[in-house]
Amino acid sequence: MTDDKRELELDFEPKAEGKASSWELLVPIHADNFALALASGYLGGSLKSDAARDLQSYAANGLFAFIGEVPAWAISEGEDGDRVLLSLAGKGEAAPGPGTMELLAGPERITRVRSAYFRDEASLANFNASYDAFPDVPMNIVELAAKWPVRETGDRPVDLQELRVEQPGRRSDLDFLGGLAAGIIDLLAESTFDEAICKFLDEPGSNIAGNGQKLLLALEPRSSQVDVSIWTATIEALRSRFGKRGFDRREFLAEVEGRLADHGPEAESWVRGCQKVIDAEIDIPSLADGEKIGRRAALAIILSHEPSGLEELESNLETGPRVRALVTAAVYAFAGLSRIDSKLKSPAPRMDAVLEVGQRMVTGDPVKVDIKTLKTSADLTRHQVIKVAGKSALERQIEPPAYMVMLKARIQEAGYKVELDSVSGQIGIRAASAKEKLIMVEDCSESASGNSIVNLVLPIFTLGSRPTIASLKKLLATAWQSATTVAVREVDESEEVVAMASLPLATLDRDELNFHVDRLLLISTELGGKKRKGRRVKK
């Protein structure tokens, strides 16, 4: 838009390739709508029919933005109230002129907003005072500042019209799945079900029912088809009633029953049992873990569908951990990302992880989760960072697993010294006969809750160049003679040769530990092992 042409021009044609440029995009928005965006995680469109009218009301699920500065007419568009200018990064081959108006695709993640500009300190203080007490509005997602790049020149476009909303249910889906994602991230923060959650995120569903089914099977692979059907029917019923006022238990159960009409007598029996529980004709049955956690979690939701009821379910109804995990994810989904407590979606890295997982559950794309131990305390407490899709999402501190406490005791009983490696955060074994060598204790990818396994790893030397045939033969021959694994792995920007032994802990005794430690030290000596330097292993 230029001063001599006051018609709305939106160019979606691709531009010729050239040197990339970047600039600041400013999105004017009513302060109340900015608070809604902080709560819901997205800019563009609104979950509220009575959202404040402003320029963005014309953009459907998109966003009207200006390059570098905003004309005064865009600030005054719509109803009265403070405005906020949201700063986003714009990129392209050539920077448009200052004040140029663009239509951005949306909805856009709130975590991509770099700063929020207010007219003055008084306006900023008023916003903080108004929304800081709201439990569902995270105030630490976006940096707030008093700055006002607004110019008085420029006229309102004569053909500015309200755009038609495409896919009207999309914002609601994102809010529901965003709540589900917040529950998933919260379960990761607890550390109880890392393996199941990572398995689910490695292959999520692509719709509401699919995500419900895969989450159940990740937590309890033995679930029967009837159990899966009851659980997915419950999740679908939650979605159909999402955003509606009130929650009548009988009406909700009737909707679930309708979705189970063709699933046989076992499903019918479950529905009749739930009706008797609602009518107080029978006591609440067991909600403990087992092969029927799907139907038990469904009943728990009928009894208590609000996040505030989670603690009561666990304390008064003795809900099993896996049942509680399913209920946690479901009730946060039903509450919606926009309504759940801000601690579940802040600070910004956590919110971004929630939004990432929520969007992947729409498309069915996998989400890679990395859990790395930053350090281990003397009492074996682990300080870990969790990365979601390659970005740090949150840190956690977890108590040592029972098998690690037992292993530490076995190491000390065998006469070895237990040391903490300051670089990797792992514990190591140091023998009195080889004080310069530290055997690292690393988690094994094949380890499970019922079959704990660790790897004893001793770095031998760093590869300086491509190994010769003779050196490879020596490695293989030595590994064969000592019946010990020898492998090459990446460390920082280099590669190192290591000796490794997997150690199942269920039947571990002192003799077995001594055997593996002796073999590792022997093969290191034969291959010319040297003291390693601090480094980070690439998983």
Residue 226 parent element (H or E)? helix 225-240
Q: Which residues pair with 118 in a beta bridge?
A: 146
Please report the pLDDT score of residue 19 as a whole number.
62
Please report the pLDDT score of residue 10 as a whole number.
47
Residue position matching structure tokens 């609000």 = 306
Please report the pLDDT score of residue 65 as a whole number.
96
Query: Are 236 and 176 a contacting pair, CB within 8 Å?
Result: no
Name the amino acid, one letter, at 406.
Answer: M
**Between the CA of residue 498 and those of 45, 444, 446, 487, 513, what are the distances in Å?**
55, 15, 19, 5, 18
**Between the CA of residue 523 and those of 98, 370, 486, 529, what are the distances in Å?**
68, 32, 9, 8
Q: Which of 219, 6, 226, 169 is nearest to 99 (CA)?
A: 6
- The full set of domain ranges for the chain reads 22-153, 172-370, 402-528
Give the 3-state secondary structure of residue 266: helix
Q: Is 449 left (phi over 0), alpha (psi -120 to 50) or beta?
A: alpha
Q: What is the distance between the terminal CA atoms of the chain, rounded to a whole angstrom?
A: 51
**Mean pLDDT over all residues of the chain?**
89
The distance from CA 390 to its chain's CA centroid, rounded to whole angstroms, is 11
Please report the pLDDT score of residue 11 as a whole number.
45
E strands, 172-252, are: none
Q: What is the pLDDT of residues 296-337, one digit of tens each?
A: 999 999 999 999 888 888 778 889 999 999 999 999 999 999
Please report the pLDDT score of residue 2 as a whole number.
42
Query: Are 325 and 152 a contacting pair, CB within 8 Å?
Result: no
pTM equals 0.82
The distance from CA 259 to its chain's CA centroid, rounded to whole angstroms, is 30
Report whether the peptide linkage leading into residue 366 is cis, meaning its omega lies within 30 degrees of zero. no
Q: Which residues of the chain have pLDDT under 50?
A: 1-16, 531-535
Helix 225-240 to helix 293-303 angle (10° resolution) is: 30
Give the 3-state secondary structure of residue 267: helix
Query: Are 222 and 291 a contacting pair, CB within 8 Å?
Result: yes
Please report the pLDDT score of residue 374 as a whole number.
86
| DSSP, res 75 | H
Rounded to whole angstroms, how far apart are CA atoms 344 and 357? 14
Q: Which of 261, 267, 254, 169 is nearest to 226 (CA)?
A: 267
Torsions phi, psi for 104 (to 5 deg): -95, 145
> In this structure, how many other beta carbons lie within 10 angstroms of the beta carbon of residue 145?
14
Burial 197-229 (b: 16+ CB within 10 A, else e): bbbbbeebbeebbebbbbbbbbbbeebeebbbb
Q: How many residues does the chain have?
A: 539
**Between the CA of residue 225 and those of 210, 266, 291, 329, 475, what are the distances in Å?**
14, 11, 11, 21, 51
Query: Are 191 and 398 a contacting pair, CB within 8 Å?
Result: yes
Q: Which of 239, 244, 215 is nearest to 328 (CA)?
A: 215
Give the 3-state secondary structure of residue 465: coil
327 burial via Cβ count (<10 Å: 0-12, 13-18, 19+): buried
Q: Is 154 left (phi over 0), alpha (psi -120 to 50) or beta?
A: left
Please report the pLDDT score of residue 6 as a whole number.
42
Tokens representing residue 470 in the block: 């003779």
What is the radius of gyration, based on Cα positions, of the chain?
29
Max CA separation in the chain (angstroms): 88
| DSSP, res 458 | E
- We find that the CATH architecture of domain 402-528 is 2-Layer Sandwich (3.30)
Rounded to whole angstroms, how far apart are CA atoms 340 and 357? 16
Please report the pLDDT score of residue 234 as a whole number.
98
Rounded to whole angstroms, how far apart are CA atoms 134 and 245? 20
Please report the pLDDT score of residue 14 as a whole number.
45
**CA torsion angle 150 153 154 156 (round to 10):** 70
Q: Which of 352, 300, 351 is nearest to 330 (CA)?
A: 300
Query: Are 462 and 448 a contacting pair, CB within 8 Å?
Result: no
- Percent of residues in the chain assigned helix, strand, coil, to nearest 5: 40, 20, 40
**CA torsion angle 6 12 18 24 (round to 10):** 60
Q: Which of 402, 393, 349, 355 is nearest to 371 (CA)?
A: 393
Please report the pLDDT score of residue 18 as a whole number.
53
